[in-house]
Amino acid sequence: MLEFLNNIRIKYSEFMVGRYGMDKLNWALLAAAIVIHIIYRIFGFFVIRVLSWIAVVILIVRFISRDHGSRTKENIWWEGKSTEIPAAIASADRSWRDRKTTLYFNCEGCKTKLSVPRGKGQVRVVCPNCGQEMFKNT
């Protein structure tokens, strides 16, 4: 039995020589596949199941890939996104929570998210990022 397991370990090591393996993007794909599968189990929509399989196929292709350069680029892209997504969620949450006291809007010039207190009538706003002047009814 131990020899059998050892043989599997050796065969796996030989198979994985030069292959990419796991990175943060692959762990995220695995987590996404599991979460999507649980959602499928609850709601039963076939489309959701297909999404789960797509995540698994991408994960396997990346895992056994020998093109380390491309996989590393994808992972760097993901590491950027994975910090943007929680920041965007936190920002949307804050906007929703403070919606009665604060007016949130995007700068007309550079799309930077800006805010002014509500209930002050018409206010002149100058974007601190690009200097664009705007008038807002609070």
User: Which chain residues interact with Zn ion by CB under 5 A?
Assistant: 107, 109-110, 112, 127, 129-130, 132
Token readout for 103 is 């007016």
- Of the pair 7, 129, the CB lying nearest Zn ion is at 129
Tell me the closest approach of the beta carbon of residue 102 to Zn ion, in angstroms.
18
- Of the pair 39, 127, the CB lying nearest Zn ion is at 127
Cβ distance 30 to 59 under 8 Å? yes
Cβ distance 1 to 27 under 8 Å? no
Tell me the closest approach of the beta carbon of residue 116 to Zn ion, in angstroms.
14
* Residues in Cβ contact with 136 at an 8 Å cutoff, skipping those fewer than 6 apart: 103, 105, 116, 122, 123, 125
Tell me the closest approach of the beta carbon of residue 101 to Zn ion, in angstroms.
23
- The CA-based angle 80-84-86, given to 5 degrees, is 130
Token readout for 66 is 């020998």
Tell me the closest approach of the beta carbon of residue 110 to Zn ion, in angstroms.
3
- Of the pair 21, 109, the CB lying nearest Zn ion is at 109
- Of the pair 57, 110, the CB lying nearest Zn ion is at 110
